[in-house]
Amino acid sequence: MRKWKSLAKKSIVSAASVVLIASCLGAAPIYASESNSEVPAVVEQNTPSVVAIIGKPTSDTNKSWEKNRYNLAHGTGVIVESDGVIVTNAHVVKDMKNIVVVTSNGTTYNGRATNIDEESDLALVKIDATNLHAATFGSSSDIEVGETVAAIGTPISFALRNSVTVGIVSGIDRSVNSQYQLIQTDAAINPGNSGGALINMKGEVIGINTMKYADVGVENLGFAIPVDTVKYVLNHFKLYGKVKRPYLGVELEESWEAVVGLPSSTGLRVAYVDPDSPAAEAGIKQDDLLLSVGGTSVKTMVDYNEALKKYLPNDSVEIKLQSGAESVSKTITLGEAQSSETASIDDEEGSDIDADRGKTKIGDSHYGWSMKYPSGLVKGQQSEEGDKVSFADAKGEFYLSIEVESNLSDELSPSALLNKLDGSDTQDYGASTTILERQYVKQDKAPYGKIVGRSGDNGYVQTRGYLHNGKLYTVKLYVAKEQYNNSFKQNSFNDLLDSFQLSFDSKDEALKDISVYSEDGATHTNEYGLSLDLPSGWEESSYKGGTSFYNDDYSQNVNVTVTSASSGETLKAWVERESKNFENEYVADYRKIEHPEALTLAGVPALKVAYSQTYGDDEWDAGYSLYFIKDKYKYEIDFTYPGDEDQDEVSKTLGELTSSIKVDKNLMDKELGFIQDIHELMDPDRTVTYKNDKYKYSLHVPETWTIGDAYDDKDEARKNFYFNGGNLTIQADTKESYEDLVKEEDASQKKNHDNDSEYTYSDSEVTLPSGEQAKKYVVHYSYDKKPYQETVYIFHHNHISYTATLHISDAVRTDENEARLNKAFDSIKFQDK
C-alpha cells in the first residue's frame, strides 16, 4: 500500500529512544557528488540558517496523551530574516504548542507560530533574536533535473538535528498530494526533516522539504516545495498576514488520464457550483468543462491552482469553458477564498515546553489528594469527572491508578475494607491473585487497608484503600516481576505509595493540580467538524438521524443534522423549503413560524427561524432552527423546548449555544462524501404498495409514512401505517362476522356518546371504491384536550371481516394530509379481483 507521509512525526525524545534509533540506522547511499568539495562548503554556509523546532503536540481525542511531558513533536525550519523569522511546514506547527527553536550553535529560544497556510503547507515561526544567519533563496526557473542538492534537517530524533543528506533533483513540476507543483529528490528525507532546506551547490535554498513516499522496497523518494511557491506565500504573509487566494466557487474533477498521470487533453469537469459564488453568478453549471484560466491551459488541479496564484481577490480573469457542445469565454471578478486563522498555541500552564518543570508533587484539588511526582511519572487515562486516573512510568517499570468512590460510610470496619479491596483487586486485573500480604495499617494521619498479590506469573499488585469523609481512595501499583524482585526498586515503589496523602495544599507551588472536575458544560465536536458548547448536565442520546442532546428532564433538546449542499443550493432556498414543509404539516391555528432572522454562525451567513406547534391542548412545543452552509455542507441545529419555558432561560441557553458554534474542516472525517438531503428529494404524495398476502389485500400508502404492527401480530392481522399526528389501521378478522362487528361498533359508539356529550359521531352505509358495502362512522372528539377526527369503516370480503380506522389530529388535518389519508384507504384492493 502506498503511503504519503508528512514528516512532522511525533517522537518521544529520551535517551533510550536515541540509543534505539542509532542502533537502527544503516549506511546511507553513496553518491559521487558526496566526494565533491562543493558539498562541505555549501553545508557549512547554510547550516547556520537551519533550525530545529520542537514542541508539545495537541490531541483532540486523547488529552492525557497531550499532557505527557515525554510526548514531543519536532521538525525543522529555515531562517528567512535575521531578526528571528523562520519558515517551516504548516503541518509541523499547526497542532504544536509551547514551541522551542534550537539554532545550529545550540542556542534555545521560545517560538510562536505567527502565520499558517495549510494549502501550501507553509508557516512562519517568530523567535526573539537578532543577527541570525538568514538563508539565500534561489529561483525555481534555475532548478535542473539531475543537479546535486543537499537536504538539512532534524530526522527521526531531536538529537539528530542539523543532519545532512545529499542527492540530486529527480524531477520538477511534480503533482503529489499538494495544491501546487513540487520538487522530487532522492536526497534522504525522513520524519522530522519537514520544514528543512533543500539547497543547491550555489548555497541557495531551492525548496522546503515537505513529504516522502513510503512503501516496502521504495527508497529516497522525497518532495520539497519549490522556492517560488515559498516566496509567493511569504510575500502574502508580509503584505496581508495570510495568503489571499482568489475564489471562483467551483469544485473541479480531473479526467481519468490526469488522475493516473497520463497526458490529458481534457479540461476539468465542474462537479459542483457553490451557491452565491462568482461562478454561479456567471452562469457556470455543473458538468461544464474548464479549459483555461487567464490564458493558461488547465488540465489538472495543480494547473488550476498554479494559474490562480497570478491573481488576487477582486481581480478579473477570463475563463474559457466548454458547455455542452459550445465553447464559451467569461470574464469573472474573483472572490476571496476563506482561510482559517490559526493562532499560536501555548499550554494553559505556561509557554515552557515542560509545563511540569519545578513540580515535585501531583494531586487533585477537588478530591483532595496528593503524592510525590517522580520525573518519569506520566499521566494516562483520566475520567471526565476526575474520579479515576492512571499513571505509568516513562520507562515502563510500573503502572499506578487512583480511584475515588463517593457516598461510602467512614464506619466501614477494617475487615470490611480489606474484603472490599480484595474483591476489587480481583475484578480489576481479571485473574486469580495469590495474596502475599493483607493487613490493616494503623497510623495517626490516615490508616489504610493494604493487600499485596501476585497476578499470575507476570507481576505484583499492591492495593491500598483509605476511607476519608465518605469516600474510598483506592491506590493500586502494578509492578512487573523482575522489578518487584529488585529490592532497590521495591523501596522506591513503596516510597511513592507512602507519599500518598489525603490533602491538597493549593498554596504549594511545587504541587501540580490535575483536577478536571467542572460544573460547566462540555464542548461537543462531531465528524463534520462542527463543535458547540452544551449546558452542564446535558447528555447525548442514541438518536440515529443526527446528533441529539437533552437536558436532565428531557424537556429541552438540541439536534444537529448535517447534509451536503447540492450544486447551486442557496441558504435562502433551503430555509424557504424547510419553512414551507413545516407550514404544510400543521393547520394554521396550530402553528406559529416567524420570518427568518439573519445572523452569522461559524463565520458565515446564517438564518434563524423561531417556530412552535400544538395539538390543541394549550401546550405548545417551541423551538429555534439555525441554518448555515459551509465547506459544501448544510448544518441545521434545532433547539426545542416547552412553549411555557422561562424565556430568559431559553434566550440564555440559545445565546450560549449560538456563540459557541464553530466549524473546523480539519476536524472533519477524511472519508466524508456526499450526504444527500432527503428533504430535497422527498415527495409526500409518492406512494409504495403494501401487500398482505395472508389476508388478501393491498393498498398504496405514502412512502413517507411508517409501516408497522400495532401489536405483536405475527399473523399480520392488524397493520398500522403512521404519519405525524395520525395513522391508518387495518384489522382483519376471520372469526367474527360483519354483522357482529357492526353491532359491537354501534354499541361502542353509542356508549361513548352517552358517557360524554362532546363525543359526537355519525354513521352511514357506503360503497367502497373497491365495490364492498361498508358501515362508516365519523367521530369528532378531544382526547386530553387534543381534538381529532376518526373515521371507521367495517366491511367484509370472502369470509374475512375488516375494520379500517383513519385517525387524524385536527392540528395536522390540512386538506393535503386528509386527502392522502383518504386516498390511501380508497386504494385498498383484494387479490382475487
Distance (Å, whole) CA 731 – CA 718: 4
Confidence at 406, pLDDT banded by 50, 70, 90: confident
Length of the chain: 833
CA distance 383 to 471: 17
Which pLDDT does position 432 carry in this prediction?
Answer: 45
Express as a percent the part of the chain with pLDDT over 70.
Answer: 87
Domain with CATH 2.30.42.10 in the chain: 246-336
pLDDT tops 50 at residue 584: yes
Q: Which three-class secondary structure state does DSSP give residue 573?
A: helix
Pairing of strands 511-513, 361-364: parallel
> How confident is the model at residue 375, as a pLDDT?
85
Annotation marks residue 74 as catalytic: no
Identify whether 255 is a catalytic site residue: no
Helix (H, G, I), strand (E, B) or coil at 117: strand
Q: Residue 344 pLDDT > 60, yes or no?
A: no
User: What's the CATH architecture for 683-830?
Assistant: 3-Layer(aba) Sandwich (3.40)
The predicted-structure confidence for 1-23, as pLDDT tens digits, reads as follows 344 444 444 443 333 333 333 33
Per the annotation, the verdict on 492 as an active-site residue is no
- For residue 9, the model assigns a pLDDT of 41
Q: Where in the chain is the domain with CATH 2.40.10.120?
A: 3-235
408 or 108, higher pLDDT: 108
How confident is the model at residue 457, as a pLDDT? 66
| Mean pLDDT score of the chain | 85
Q: Which residues pair with 390 in a beta bridge?
A: 401
The winner for highest mean pLDDT among 407-416, 423-432, 580-589 is 580-589
pLDDT of residue 703: 92
pTM of this structure = 0.62
Indicate the fold that domain 246-336 takes in CATH: Pdz3 Domain (2.30.42)
Measure the CA–CA gap between 446 and 464, rounded to whole angstroms: 11
Residue 503 has pLDDT above 80, yes or no: yes
Q: Which of 732, 802, 815 is nearest to 768 (CA)?
A: 802
CB 793 within 8 A of CB 825: yes
How confident is the model at residue 62, as a pLDDT?
A: 53
**Does the structure show a pLDDT above 70 at 214?**
no
Catalytic residue, from 121, 422, 638, 677: name it. Answer: 121
Give the other-Cβ count within 10 Å of 488's Cβ.
7
pLDDT at 26 over 50: no
DSSP β-bridge partners for residue 344 = none
Task: Assess if CATH 2.40.10.120 describes domain 3-235.
Answer: yes
Q: What single letter denotes the amino acid at residue 106?
A: G
Structure confidence at residue 29 (pLDDT): 45
DSSP string, 230-297: HHHHHHHHHHHSS---EE--EEEE--HHHHHT----S-EEEEEE-TTSHHHHTT--TT-EEEEETTEE
What is residue 11's predicted lDDT score, i.e. its pLDDT? Answer: 40
Torsion on CA atoms 709, 557, 609, 594, rounded to nearest 10: 80
Judge whether 335 and 483 are in contact, CB under 8 Å. no
pLDDT in tens, 519-557: 666 778 888 889 888 887 787 775 554 588 888 788 899
Report pLDDT digits (tens) over 130-182.
999 999 999 999 999 999 999 998 876 677 778 888 999 998 888 777 788 89
CATH of domain 361-513: 3.40.1000.10
- What average pLDDT score do residues 733-748 get? 95
Active-site annotation holder among 49, 175, 194, 566? 194
For 354-394, write each residue's pLDDT tens digit. Answer: 777 788 999 999 999 999 999 888 888 888 778 999 998 88
Q: Which of 91, 796, 797, 807 is catalytic?
A: 91
Distance set, CA 425 to CA 400, 436, 465, 728 (Å): 13, 13, 11, 58
- DSSP-assigned letter for residue 469: T
pLDDT exceeds 50 at position 32: no
Q: Which residue ranges does the chain devote to CATH 3.40.1000.10?
A: 361-513, 523-680, 683-830
Candidate from 336-340, 381-385, 467-471, 564-568 with smallest mean pLDDT:
336-340
Choice between 477 and 385, residue whose per-residue pLDDT is larger:
477
- Asked whether the predicted pLDDT for residue 764 surpasses 80, the reply is yes
Task: Say which DSSP state 6 is in.
Answer: E
**Distance (Å, whole) CA 710 – CA 716:** 10
Pick the CATH number of 523-680 from 3.90.1150.10, 3.40.1000.10, 1.20.58.390, 3.40.1110.10: 3.40.1000.10
What pLDDT sits at residue 822?
97
